[in-house]
Amino acid sequence: MPLMIVRNDITKMQVDAIVNAANSSLLGGGGVDGCIHKAAGPKLLEECRTLGGCSVGNAKITKGYDLPAKYIIHTVGPQWHGGFSNEKLLLESCYRESLKLAAERNCGSVAFPLISSGIYGYPKDKALKVAIDVISDFLLNNEMTVYIVIFDKAAFKISEKLFSDIAEYIDDNYVDLHTDAIEERLRRQRLESKPMSCPEPAFSELSCGEIGFPCSDLNLESVVEQLDESFSQMLLRKIDEKGMTDAECYKKANIDRKLFSKIRGDVHYKPSKPTAIAFAISLELSLHETEDMLKKAGFALSHSNKFDVIIEYFISHGNYNIFEINEALFAFDQSLLGV
Ligand code: AR6
């Protein structure tokens, strides 16, 4: 998955390059800078001394020394002055310049801390949005796996409003189903005793006419030959119908090219549920179409599952921004899409 938000200590990341939130001297400091220098060892400072510092919004690269990462990209974020001193532009530039250096060194994977969001005071939610916007823009034209590493969960917050809207939606749709209120039980009983208006009988309950095969053809082999459209067939059909290219679709789904090729090449490919949902989001399918697509992969959206309710919240609000969805899933301790 090209962009992932993970909770970790960045010095432990097994990637080609990690990014350091440095100051313009590049000679070390507190926060993540201090952790990186400590973990990389004294040779890092020796190399940093040769670099002649770095201006705000720019980046320089060194070796990784004792770190698992091969390179360290040092970038200098802006200090927060209330948002009136070009902070956003400068922070965007930090991400862009760092990614540019990583691409020049052919890095396949890079991990970023939330630059400027500690000692430099940039509000974390705004800093995260800048990170996501610039990185996802970059990934539209570059093959790379990029991690945003969040150090402490308490510090990671989606906006209060979004969080409370989703929490309310979960309460309405998830908790309700788990209450034993008399009204709810009666409603369920009524539903259970009523024949469904659109039944989907098990195959064994069908008479030959109902399934659309002449009786003589009703053997397992012929039924198996007349399967419905598969997940991958539906995916490719929807990509065409939406006028998208394959690359637009898998990038928007935050899925890597190799996985997409596998799906394209195998008509019976069975994706994981997060992958199937990621494609539904990328294609901006309605809730009904999403359920149809999931069914083809053997899944459903259920109100007994927090992950599903969050997905349903976003689709029913017409919000198909996979990175925002992932932020919300992360905030509610759920696995992320596109894996
Ligand atoms: N792994 C991942 N993230 C971390 C780690 C870690 N080990 N340690 C801290 N963070 P900061 P800044 C997070 O203050 O705001 C230094 O003195 C932290 O929670 O490191 O850009 C430099 O020399 C926060 O979200 O960097 C500069 O003088 C984020 O990393 C100044 O601080 C960035 O916090 C730079 O300040």
Q: What is the CATH number of the domain that holds 20?
A: 3.40.220.10
Sign of the Cα torsion 118, 122, 123, 124 reads negative
Q: Of 112-126, 221-235, 265-279, which range is least confident? A: 221-235
pLDDT, greater one: 211 or 217 = 217
- pLDDT given at position 222: 67
Residue 200 pLDDT > 60: no
Residue 209 pLDDT > 80: no
Assigned domain for 203 exists: no
Assigned domain for 108 exists: yes
Report residue 192 CA to chain centroid gap. 37
Q: What distance in angstroms lies between residue 321's CA and the mean position of ligand 1's atoms?
A: 27
Q: What distance in angstroms lies between residue 13's CA and the mean position of ligand 1's atoms?
A: 15
Q: Are residues 128 and 222 in the same domain?
A: no
Structure confidence at residue 230 as a pLDDT band (50, 70, 90) = very high
Please check whether residue 147 is in contact with residue 15, taking contact to mean a CB–CB distance below 8 angstroms.
yes
Structure confidence at residue 195 as a pLDDT band (50, 70, 90) = very low
Q: Are residues 165 and 153 in the same domain?
A: no
Assigned domain for 264 exists: yes
Question: 149 has which bridge partners?
Answer: 6, 113
Please check whether residue 326 is in contact with residue 156, taking contact to mean a CB–CB distance below 8 angstroms.
no
Cα distance between residue 37 and residue 23, in whole Å: 13
Q: Among 98, 176, 184, which residue's Cα sits nearest to residue 134? A: 98
Strand positions, DSSP E, the chain: 3-7, 17-22, 59-63, 71-76, 109-113, 145-150
Assigned domain for 260 exists: yes
- Amino acid 242 reads K
pLDDT, greater one: 137 or 81 = 81
Q: What distance in angstroms lies between residue 167's CA and the mean position of ligand 1's atoms?
A: 30
For the Cβ of 128 lying below 6 angstroms from any atom of ligand 1, the answer is: no
Q: Are residues 124 and 214 in the same domain?
A: no
Mutation to probe ligand 1, out of 19, 98, 151, 153 (largest number of atoms < 8 A from CB): 151
Burial 54-93 (b: 16+ CB within 10 A, else e): bebbbbbbbebbebebebbbbbbbbebeeeeeebbebbbb
Residue 313 pLDDT > 90: yes
Structure confidence at residue 224 as a pLDDT band (50, 70, 90) = low
Q: Whose CA is nearest to atom 5 of ligand 1?
A: 32
Nearest-10 crossing angle of helices 287-296, 306-316: 140
- pLDDT given at position 214: 46
Q: What percent of the chain shows pLDDT beyond 70? A: 79
Assigned domain for 336 exists: no
For the Cβ of 33 lying below 6 angstroms from any atom of ligand 1, the answer is: yes
Q: Are residues 218 and 86 in the same domain?
A: no
For the Cβ of 116 lying below 6 angstroms from any atom of ligand 1, the answer is: yes
Quick one: tokens of 50?
A: 């040769």
pLDDT, greater one: 53 or 253 = 53
Assigned domain for 339 exists: no
Q: Whose CA is nearest to atom 24 of ligand 1?
A: 118
Place of tokens 């208006």: 197
Q: What distance in angstroms lies between residue 43's CA and the mean position of ligand 1's atoms?
A: 21
CB-based contacts of 299: which residues, under 8 Å, 6+ apart? 273, 276
Assigned domain for 200 exists: no
Q: Are residues 222 and 322 in the same domain?
A: yes
Cα distance between residue 75 and residue 78, in whole Å: 10
Quick one: tokens of 167?
A: 């929490």
pLDDT tens-digit series, residues 54-64: 999 999 999 99
Q: What percent of the chain shows pLDDT beyond 90? A: 58
Residue 212 pLDDT > 90: no
CB-based contacts of 245: which residues, under 8 Å, 6+ apart? 239
pLDDT, greater one: 181 or 324 = 324
- pLDDT given at position 19: 98
Q: Of 118-122, 187-191, 220-224, 309-313, which range is least confident? A: 187-191
Q: Are residues 247 and 301 in the same domain?
A: yes
Q: Are residues 236 and 149 in the same domain?
A: no
Q: What distance in angstroms lies between residue 118's CA and the mean position of ligand 1's atoms?
A: 5
Domain with 109 in it: 3-157
Cα distance between residue 19 and residue 107, in whole Å: 12
Q: Of 186-190, 192-196, 225-229, 288-292, which range is least confident? A: 192-196
Q: What distance in angstroms lies between residue 241's CA and the mean position of ligand 1's atoms?
A: 46
Q: Among 238, 285, 277, which residue's Cα sits nearest to residue 254? A: 277
Please check whether residue 264 is in contact with residue 246, taking contact to mean a CB–CB distance below 8 angstroms.
yes
- pLDDT given at position 183: 52
Whole-number mean pLDDT of the chain?
84
Burial of 276 (0-12, 13-18, 19+ CB in 10 A): buried
Assigned domain for 24 exists: yes
For the Cβ of 75 lying below 6 angstroms from any atom of ligand 1, the answer is: no
Kindly give the number of the ligand 1 atom that is closest to the alpha carbon of 28. Answer: 23
pLDDT tens-digit series, residues 142-188: 889 999 898 876 555 555 666 667 677 776 666 555 444 445 545 55
Domains: count for the chain? 2
Q: Are residues 180 and 303 in the same domain?
A: yes
Please check whether residue 91 is in contact with residue 76, taking contact to mean a CB–CB distance below 8 angstroms.
no
For the Cβ of 10 lying below 6 angstroms from any atom of ligand 1, the answer is: yes
Cβ atoms < 10 Å from Cβ of 289: 15
Q: Are residues 81 and 148 in the same domain?
A: yes
Mutation to probe ligand 1, out of 119, 122, 130 (largest number of atoms < 8 A from CB): 119
Kindly give the number of the ligand 1 atom that is closest to the alpha carbon of 25. Answer: 23
Q: What is the pTM of this model?
A: 0.67
Q: Are residues 21 and 148 in the same domain?
A: yes
Q: Are residues 227 and 153 in the same domain?
A: no
Q: Are residues 68 and 101 in the same domain?
A: yes
Structure confidence at residue 101 as a pLDDT band (50, 70, 90) = very high
Cα distance between residue 101 and residue 227, in whole Å: 49
- pLDDT given at position 2: 78
